[in-house]
Structure 1
Amino acid sequence: MVLTEAAPEGLPKQRSRWPFYVCLGLLACVVAYVLLFKVPEWRNDEKLARLEERVSMFPLPPDTEPGDRGVEGTVGIQSDNSNHCDYLVRISLLTKLPDAEIARYYEFAAIEGVEGRALSGTVYVNPSGSWRGGFKGVIVEFFDGYHEPGFDMRCH
């Protein structure tokens, strides 16, 4: 004699809950990643954007006009070894001023850095000579370094 049990017809079949828990776990991992790593990057990108804005608002010296590249910024390790954040903002200009005069103008520029420290610019003159109409190309860099990196992976 073989006994078999038949499932009662009136009871619904119970569903497995493991797909729900797997999706919930994946969502928790994504949220943790964003909170730990992306939010610090976004915060440092915002600081860099404000520094770029202050550099672009600084008045140009006489006989100088913006170059072809405009304002460019970078956040991450720019000097020495790891575990600090550096901010570098670079502008390209065309000028008729002598090298010493343009260097002196940006050496005494007081642009507010990421944490309020005054920054001066470093000028690099294009060694190939003059361009159209007596203008020559220069690059001016504003460096603000050695800030706390937090969890921004670009700074480690």
Structure 2
Amino acid sequence: MTAVFAPIATVFILVMTPVWRDNARLEALYKRVLAYPLPPRTGDVFPVDRDVTFGKNLAKGSGAYCDYRVRITLQTALTPQEIHRHYGNASIRGAEEKAMISLFFEDEGPAGGRRVIVEVYDSHDWDWDWRCM
């Protein structure tokens, strides 16, 4: 029984170790994004709209890259320029380097304020995670 189980367990561990590592990297990026202070007069009022994604070439293109993306939706009373200033100074570490931050704005709503989607993205070359092949 051990002679059959040991090779299967070894292959499982070899295949899953990169997956577990990249899942931990994504979780760490997510925690760093949430730990970054929000701009003044801005709230994370849409916690169910958070999108935490890992996969191959999320930003399109070709090649074998492992990509990490975290999106949060905020409600703010600030102007787009003020939000750009706040996140333009942000330094959120990605899996291996500084993450890239993109901002997407909606028009001001009838109740005042506007929604802004903050997207934090990081990528690295394939390192044996089968999901990035």
TM-score interval, normalised by the smaller of the two chains: 0.7 to 0.9
Q: What's the counterpart of residue 10 of structure 1?
A: none
Runs of 4+ in 1 over 3 A off after TM superposition: none
Asked if residue 122 in structure 1 is aligned to residue 102 in structure 2, the reply is yes
Amino acid of the structure 2 residue aligned with 1:63: R
Contact kept in structure 1, 2:18 and 2:128, CA below 8 Å: yes
Count of aligned pairs? 130
Contact kept in structure 1, 2:51 and 2:71, CA below 8 Å: yes
Q: What's the counterpart of residue 52 of structure 2?
A: 73
Deviation for aligned residue 1:50 = 0.7
State the superposition RMSD in angstroms.
Answer: 2.0
Q: What's the counterpart of residue 154 of structure 1?
A: 131
Q: What's the counterpart of residue 7 of structure 1?
A: none
Q: Which sections of structure 1, spanning at least 5 residues, go unmatched?
A: 1-19
Amino acid of the structure 2 residue aligned with 1:73: V
- Aligned residue runs from structure 1 range 72-151, under 5 A: 72-77=51-56, 78-79=58-59, 80-115=61-96, 117-127=97-107, 129-130=108-109, 132=111, 134-145=112-123, 147-151=124-128
Q: Which sections of structure 2, spanning at least 5 residues, go unmatched?
A: none
Structure 1's 51 and 24: CA in aligned 2 closer, same or farther, altered over 3 A? same
Deviation for aligned residue 1:76 = 1.5
Structure 1's 135 and 92: CA in aligned 2 closer, same or farther, altered over 3 A? same
Using the size of structure 1 for normalisation, the TM-score is 0.73
* Relative contact order, higher structure (CA 8 A, sep 6+): 2
| Distance in 2 separating the partners of 1:28 and 1:81 | 37
Q: What's the counterpart of residue 31 of structure 2?
A: 53
| Distance in 2 separating the partners of 1:50 and 1:37 | 21
| Distance in 2 separating the partners of 1:119 and 1:150 | 18
Deviation readout 1:115-153 (Å, 9 max, x if unpaired): 2x22342110124x3154x121111011111x1322212
Asked which structure has the greater CA Rg, the reply is: 1
